[in-house]
Amino acid sequence: MERNIPVFGSRLRNNIVTVPEVISQCSGIRVFGQSIKSFLFSTDVAIIRNTNANAIIAVYPFTPQPVISNALILAADKPIFCGVGGGLTTGVRSLELAIHAEFQGALGVVLNKPTPNSLITMLKEKIDIPVTITVVSEKDDIKGRIDAGVDIFNVSGAAKTADIIKKIRDLNDKVAIIATGGKSDDSIVAAIDAGANAISYTPPSTGELFKEIMEKYRAEENA
């Protein structure tokens, strides 16, 4: 018998960024009792407030700043995984950023590729939220990351994403894996079949979303 799922919406909030439905096939990752299947990759507060994704990966190509993570955590209505460096920003500074993120309410922290394994171990000793490391290649030191105690792999390998996931699974069939889903349902399914527990989705930019709305308005004006 099919279950009835009550749905509540809003006349004013029906235009949201929805993640691909196929992501629901994931097993999910349970963090402090919350099951997460879909992550939105964004630091845009407006988009973060208007999406059906289960959680947010807030990583950006600048030096991590507590004021940014604090603003995102305060604005979000869902769990946030905050970037805390690992490349140029590393060592004690990354540790302090991670501690600050935890105290502000982040559900997890994310380290980028250059992170030394020693920093993963340091974070595991000091914070009580999951430590996530980004992997971009099969040549990354995956075993070393596992031995250092990493909780979650964030696999972002473009066309090689499924192959990287399979390599991780060959080394450890229990560690949690988030994977970038790409642009199609087929690439998302390939990542799930390879062993991804959750999928990260990159939404359209605010400019792209505005373009669609403006085109609709123009069409109505000319009708």
- Per-residue model confidence as pLDDT tens digits over 45-56: 999 999 999 999
200, β-bridge pairs? 39, 180
Digit-coded pLDDT (tens) for 18-41: 999 999 999 999 999 999 999 999
Phi, psi (rounded to 5 degrees) for 201: -120, 130
Binned at pLDDT 50, 70 and 90, residue 6 comes out as confident
Q: Is the pLDDT of residue 140 over 80?
A: yes
Cβ pair 161, 182 in contact under 8 A? yes
Residue 81's SS3 state is: strand
32: region left, alpha or beta (phi > 0 left; psi from -120 to 50 alpha) = left
Closest CA to 123 of 160, 142, 151: 151
The separation between CA 166 and the C-alpha centre of its own chain, rounded to angstroms, equals 19
Digit-coded pLDDT (tens) for 63-101: 999 999 999 999 999 999 999 998 777 888 999 999 999
The predicted structure's pLDDT at residue 91: 84
Summarize the confidence of residues 197-222 as an average pLDDT: 85
What residue ranges define each of the domains in the chain, with the CATH number in brackets? 21-222 (3.20.20.60)
The predicted structure's pLDDT at residue 223: 66
Q: Please give the model's pTM, rounded to 2 decimal places.
A: 0.90
